[in-house]
């Protein structure tokens, strides 16, 4: 039996992480085998790559080098975590995947999306999520939340991306909406500007329906 591959996307401060862990508890409570993982990261090598990618000190990181590092983390993650879990019938909940590269490196940084897709086909060998949940929120609200969270924790910025301006995050958000528009079979958009309970109810509905298929 092949498991199901569900990915979660959205800009900073969209509430993804909270929602995914609530969903994990819900599925585990129903006795469904489930694994929660994320990109960049998800493996010991991927976590080392994540540190390079998110370190605010790495301002000199070239956009192409950045793209390849996300790809490197993804290749490792697919081999060590995603493919084995799917092969054993597990539901894989992944906090970001290939669409994040198109949204951030493509629409955000301005790298050619055709080239990103080509590289992604090599990295993933064409593996697509069964469902991608886009938690949509406007850039100002999302970034405000993310920065508020950092300030609460006494941090300046968790990642190089939280240092980017509203225009960058607006391009990323608009990019995600365009991707969702182009692939309506796979994507579902959930309004992230509501209470966590309401957002979670929508997500559970979507995943219940996917698992019932």
Q: Could you list the residues that contact ligand TMP (CB under 6 A)?
A: 12, 38-40, 54, 70, 95-96, 100-101, 104-105, 159, 161
CB of 149 vs ligand TMP, minimal distance in Å? 11
DSSP 139-179: HHHHHHHHHHHHHHTT-S-SSGGGGS-HHHHHHHHHHHHHH
Instruction: List the beta bridge partners of residue 93.
Output: 6, 36
178: CB partners within 8 A, 6+ apart = 107
Q: Are 169 and 163 in contact (CB under 8 A)?
A: no
In the complex, minimum distance from the CB of residue 30 to ligand TMP, in angstroms, rounded to a whole number: 26
Comparing CB distances to ligand TMP, the nearer of 37 and 90 is: 37
The nearer residue to ligand TMP, 109 or 204, going by C-beta atoms, is 109
Closer CB to ligand TMP, residue 161 or residue 176?
161
Q: By beta-carbon distance, which residue lies closest to ligand TMP?
A: 104
Least spacing, CB of residue 207 vs ligand TMP, in Å: 19
Cβ(191)–Cβ(136) under 8 Å? Answer: yes
- Residue 40 preceded by cis peptide, ω within 30: yes
Sign of CA pseudo-dihedral 201, 203, 204, 206 = positive
Output 4 or 96, the one with its CB closest to ligand TMP: 96
* Nearer Cβ to ligand TMP (28/54): 54
Min separation Cβ 195 and ligand TMP, Å: 21
> H helices then E strands: how many in the chain?
9, 5
Separation CA 118–CA 114 (nearest Å)? 6
User: Least distance to ligand TMP from the beta carbon of 65, Å?
Assistant: 13
């Amino acid at each position: 039996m092949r498991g199901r591959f569900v990915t979660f996307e959205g800009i900073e401060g969209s509430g993804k992480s909270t929602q995914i862990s609530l969903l994990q508890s819900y599925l585990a409570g129903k006795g469904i085998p489930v694994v929660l993982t994320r990109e960049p990261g998800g493996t010991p090598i991927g976590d080392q790559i994540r540190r390079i990618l998110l370190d605010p000190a790495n301002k000199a990181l070239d956009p192409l080098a950045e793209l390849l590092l996300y790809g490197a983390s993804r290749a490792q993650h697919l081999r060590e975590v995603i493919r084995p879990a799917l092969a054993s019938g597990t539901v894989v909940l992944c906090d970001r995947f290939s669409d994040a590269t198109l949204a951030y490196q493509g629409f955000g940084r301005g790298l050619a999306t055709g080239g990103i897709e080509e590289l992604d086909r090599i990295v993933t060998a064409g593996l697509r999520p069964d469902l991608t949940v886009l938690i949509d929120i406007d850039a100002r609200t999302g970034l405000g939340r993310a920065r508020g969270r950092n300030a609460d924790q006494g941090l300046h910025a968790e990642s190089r991306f939280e240092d980017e301006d509203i225009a960058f995050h607006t391009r990323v958000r608009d990019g995600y909406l365009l991707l969702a528009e182009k692939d309506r079979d796979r994507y579902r958009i959930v309004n992230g500007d509501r209470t966590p309970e309401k957002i979670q109810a929508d997500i559970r509905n979507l995943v219940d329906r996917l698992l019932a298929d």
